């Protein structure tokens, strides 16, 4: 039973990861990160159910709260980036190139 849940979680996580790596649009990258967080949440809840304890639930709630805060911050950053360059392509922002 737990296997299926974990498989779904892993698949979701990999999709998110691939999105972060391959997509260039800032919004898509951001959504992919959300996807990865939710994959982790699913795993938490599944394990919580398995062990019959509430720890996983608490952590899942916590991750949601963090994700909400992160969304607020990240969207503000995205707006600033857009103001700065007028584009949402991540390849445009490469000031750290060595």
Partner 1 sequence: MENSATYLMYIPLFPLLGAVIIGLMHVFTCKRPIFEKFYGIIACIGPILSFVLALRVFFNLKGMPEEGRYLIQKAFTWFQVGDLDVAMGFLADPLSSLMLLFVTFIGSLIHIYSIGYMGGEKNYAKFFAYLNLFLGSMLVLVLGDSPVVMFVGWEGVGLCSYLLISFYTTETENVIAGNKAFIVNRIGDLGFVLGMSFLFWAIGAHGFDYMALKANAHHLAPGVALTVCLLLFVGATGKSAQIPLYVWLPDAMAGPTPVSALIHAATMVTAGVYMVARFSFIYAHVPVAGSIVAWVGILTALLAAIFGMFQDDIKKVLAYSTVSQLGYMFAGVGVAAYSAGIFHVFTHAFFKALLFLGAGAVIYAMHHQQNIWKMGGLKKKMPITYYTMVIGALALAGCPFFSGFFSKDEILFMALANGHWGIWLVGVAVAGMTAYYTFRMIFVVFHGEPRDQHAYDHAHEAPLVMTLPLIILAVGALFAGYLNLPAIFGGDQEVTHWLAPVVVEHHPHVSKFVELLAMCASIVAFIIGIRLAWQRFGKGAEEPTFSGFTEFAYHKFYVDELYDSVFVQPYKRIGGAIRNAIEPNVTDAPIKLVSQLYMMVGQAFKVFQVGFVRVYAIYMIVGLSVMSLILSFSLN
Binding site for partner 1 (CB under 8 A): 17, 20-22, 24, 29, 90-91, 93-98
CA–CA separation, 44 and 22 (whole Å): 27
CB-CB contact of 71 with 31 (8 Å): no
CB 37 within 8 A of CB 15: no
Q: Give the start-end residues of each E strand in the chain.
A: none
Q: Which is nearer to partner 1, 58 or 71 (CB)?
A: 71
Cβ closest to partner 1, residue 57 vs residue 87:
87
Cβ distance to partner 1 smaller for residue 49 or 70: 70
């Amino acid at each position: 039973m737990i296997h299926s849940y974990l498989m779904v979680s892993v698949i979701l996580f990999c999709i998110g990861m691939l999105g972060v790596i391959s997509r260039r649009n800032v919004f898509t990258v951001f959504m992919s990160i959300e996807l990865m967080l939710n994959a982790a949440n699913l795993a938490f809840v599944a394990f919580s159910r398995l062990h019959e304890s509430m720890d996983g639930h608490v952590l899942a709630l916590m991750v949601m709260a963090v994700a909400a805060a992160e969304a607020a911050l990240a969207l503000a950053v995205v707006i600033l980036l857009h103001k700065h360059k007028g584009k949402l392509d991540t390849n445009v922002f490469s000031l750290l190139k060595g």
